[in-house]
Amino acid sequence: MLQKLLRRVERHYDVDGMTDVIRVDPERPDPAAIARAAECLRGGGLVAFPTETVYGLGVYALDRTAVRRLFEAKGRPANDPLIVHVGSPDLMDALVLHVPDAARALAARFWPGPLTLVLPRSPLVPDEVTAGLDTVAVRVPAHPVARALLVAAGIPVAAPSANLFSRLSPTRASHVLDDLEGRIDLIVDGGPTTVGVESTVLDLSRGTPTLLRPGAITAEMLREVLPRVEVGTVRQDDRPAMLSPGLLEKHYAPRAPLTLYEGETPAMLERLMRDAHEAMNAGARVGLIVADEDAVDVRGDARIARLGSTHDLTTVASRLYSVLREMDAAGVDVILVRGFPGSGLGTAVRDRLHRAAATRIVL
């Protein structure tokens, strides 16, 4: 199977240093546009495309040269492994040593979708992709554009989020352009992504299935299929083995320092507003991120963004990164964010806000 995938790459991507953008209908992408992007991938090119979570920056996963080019374009350290995207679950078999029953059951239930499985890797997957780990992360995305592209290309595509290293994941083609214009070959613009936070990462490679990164497929949903799912610690500091080196906090942070306010709503908002006014009085440009229903009475010139209702975490997740990027673009000095309920998709929102805040959490 993999022999078929191991094609000799005749490099024929555009090397003019320009990033082309092709717009496609997110539901029914034009086959000619998809064919062009697929050909670019097959020729060793770097192609950004929408998935249901965030935009990915794809390259042919079995082409070491292309993978190295990808790391260079992102400025990503080589010790941070990539997720390999495939168009159908049966391609997973070619990338891993063996497929455990648990992986088959989860794939049947959640693929295509925002779930990434970490499995023992086949030796044919280059070290450049796995950062030398003995495992490989695999996912079948659900976005019609991603699916069409992967099916048309017919190859496994390694794709991290299409942002510069240390910047926020992109949820729109314009975010990709802001970070990577001139550094990649092509962007397939399929409009804003729907989920808005990166896929759930589940490690099935050792003993108990362990959640490494929360996403839209929640631990509760996984436990309906696999009752013994454990939630891994997200902090790397206490983890010498670096099970998932890409999960360092700083990857998910805006440029301006972000403080997260948690706790019961009226008191939490009062505290947030008090700190906001203090910062404004000290001359700082302040960005406030609150919920739709929050009554905030700002005396002064702050930038306010509403993420959505605390009862609608789907909207909150889908807007999170673009609102944080807008704050950075507006040049605010500090960002103050209200906490959101940590259930369902809220677990992923909370996780990303915690990473962005690092130690700046007010309880």
Q: Which of 244, 310, 318, 347 binds ligand TXA (CB under 6 A)?
A: 244
Contacts 24+ apart (CB under 8 A), 179-184: 180/19, 180/48, 180/57, 180/73, 180/74, 181/19, 182/17, 182/18, 182/19, 183/19, 183/46, 183/73, 184/19, 184/46, 184/47, 184/48, 184/57, 184/73
Q: Quick one: tokens of 222?
A: 């996984």
Minimum CB separation from ligand TXA for residue 295, in Å?
34
Minimum CB separation from ligand TXA for residue 290, in Å?
26
Query: Pattern 47-66, binding to ligand TXA, x per CB under 6 A?
Result: ----x-xx-x----------
Q: Quick one: tokens of 208?
A: 């108990």
CA distance 298 to 244: 41
Question: Taking each helix axis from N to C terminus, what angle separates 31-42 and 144-153, rounded to the nearest 10 degrees?
Answer: 50
User: In sequence order, what are the residues at sequence separation of 6 or more whose Cβ sits closer than 8 angstroms to the Cβ of residue 316?
Assistant: 291, 307, 308, 309, 310, 340, 345, 346, 349
Considering only residues 108 to 127 of the shown chain, the ones binding ligand TXA according to CB under 6 A are: 114, 116, 118
CA distance 60 to 78: 17
Question: Taking each helix axis from N to C terminus, what angle separates 313-329 and 346-357, rounded to the nearest 10 degrees?
Answer: 30
Which segment (16-24, 35-43, 75-83, 350-358) binds ligand TXA by CB under 6 A? 75-83
Considering only residues 134 to 173 of the shown chain, the ones binding ligand TXA according to CB under 6 A are: 135-137, 139, 141, 159-161
Considering only residues 172 to 231 of the shown chain, the ones binding ligand TXA according to CB under 6 A are: 198-199, 201, 212-213
310 binds ligand TXA (CB under 6 A): no
Q: Quick one: tokens of 301?
A: 């010139």
171 binds Mg ion (CB under 5 A): no
Which segment (46-54, 180-188, 319-327, 348-356) binds ligand TXA by CB under 6 A? 46-54
Q: Which of 53, 130, 135, 161 binds Mg ion (CB under 5 A)?
A: 161
Query: Pattern 107-146, binding to Mg ion, x per CB under 5 A?
Result: ----------------------------------------
Minimum CB separation from ligand TXA for residue 49, in Å?
8
Contact 340, 197 (CB under 8 A): no
User: In sequence order, what are the residues at sequence separation of 6 or more whose Cβ sits closer than 8 angstroms to the Cβ of residue 16?
Assistant: none
What is the bridge-based pairing of β-strands 47-50 and 55-60?
A: antiparallel
Contact 143, 51 (CB under 8 A): yes
Cα atoms found within 13 Å of the Cα of residue 60, Cβ hemisphere only:
27
Which segment (78-86, 172-180, 221-229, 255-263) binds ligand TXA by CB under 6 A? 78-86
Please name the helix (run of DSSP H) or strand (run of DSSP E) that holds residue 48, with its range, or none: strand 47-50
Q: Which is nearer to Mg ion, 161 or 322 (CB)?
A: 161
Number of residues that bind ligand TXA (CB under 6 A): 31
Number of residues that bind Mg ion (CB under 5 A): 1
Q: Which is nearer to ligand TXA, 130 or 259 (CB)?
A: 130
CA distance 258 to 118: 31
Minimum CB separation from ligand TXA for residue 39, in Å?
20
82 binds ligand TXA (CB under 6 A): yes
Q: Quick one: tokens of 178?
A: 């802001």
Which of ligand TXA, Mg ion, none does 83 bind, CB closer than 5 to 8 A by kind?
ligand TXA
Q: Which is nearer to ligand TXA, 19 or 199 (CB)?
A: 199
Residues that bind ligand TXA (CB under 6 A): 51, 53-54, 56, 80-83, 114, 116, 118, 130, 133, 135-137, 139, 141, 159-161, 198-199, 201, 212-213, 243-247
Residues that bind Mg ion (CB under 5 A): 161
